[in-house]
Amino acid sequence: MIAFSLAVLLLLITPGPGVLSTAGVGAAFGFKAGLRYVFGLCIGTNLVALIVVSGLAAIILATTWARNTLLVLSALYLLYIAARIAFAGKKIAFIHAEEIPGIRDALILQIINPKAYAVNMTWFTGFVLVPESLVAETLLKFLVINLIWIPIHLLWLAAGNLVNQLDLSPRTHFLINSAMALALVVVVGLAIVSLLQAPGTPALSR
């Protein structure tokens, strides 16, 4: 149990699309908007876990074109979310910057995030907690994962909201939002580089 909990914690605290976008949404749009986004991420994470438990994820990750398609879609959608964070409140013709990322956006992001599948496969196939009952073990893992996942994402949201609450000039706020968006872009870049170097290993962290 301790090893499993540490594995969940270590894989979640590392900055990735989920936590970075959560902090970015909190900084750009505030805590309330961020709560809706985190709720969507949570739903998406648990849906991906169910897909893993069902065995469908193994088929997806074992198929090169399906895995790479997920990575490309995830990268493009992350860039879209990053743009909305960077240009929050800005009136730009080609982007509705006032549209706040919400449950739907977060849900889509998790469903097409290849790393979400890979990480959940590690959690659900790499640790044995209740050898005598697969059902009990699966339910226990769902519980532990959510008990760790939710506080971590709320902490990142609170950190982003703290920036949102500061009395900053519009230019400074824009620069901070842009920096957070740039961090997401860097994650996308690392994912693409990893895909080119080792197509069998998804690189996005949650």
What integer pLDDT is reported at residue 201 of this predicted model? 45
Chain segment 108-142, per-residue pLDDT in tens: 888 887 777 878 888 888 888 888 888 898 999 99
d(CA 22, CA 95): 20
Each of the 206 residues of the chain gets a pLDDT tens digit; together they read 788 888 888 878 776 778 888 888 888 888 988 999 999 999 999 999 999 898 887 777 677 787 778 777 877 887 887 777 777 655 433 344 456 778 988 898 888 877 778 788 888 888 888 888 888 989 999 999 999 999 999 999 998 888 878 777 777 777 877 777 787 777 666 655 654 554 444 444 44
Q: Running DSSP on this structure, what letter comes out for residue 126?
A: S
Residue 166 tokens read as: 């500061």
What integer pLDDT is reported at residue 144 of this predicted model? 93
First CA to last CA across the chain, in angstroms? 21
Instruction: Tell the residue number behind the tokens 């198929």, with chain if given.
Output: 63
Beta bridge partners of 95: 92
What integer pLDDT is reported at residue 94 of this predicted model? 39
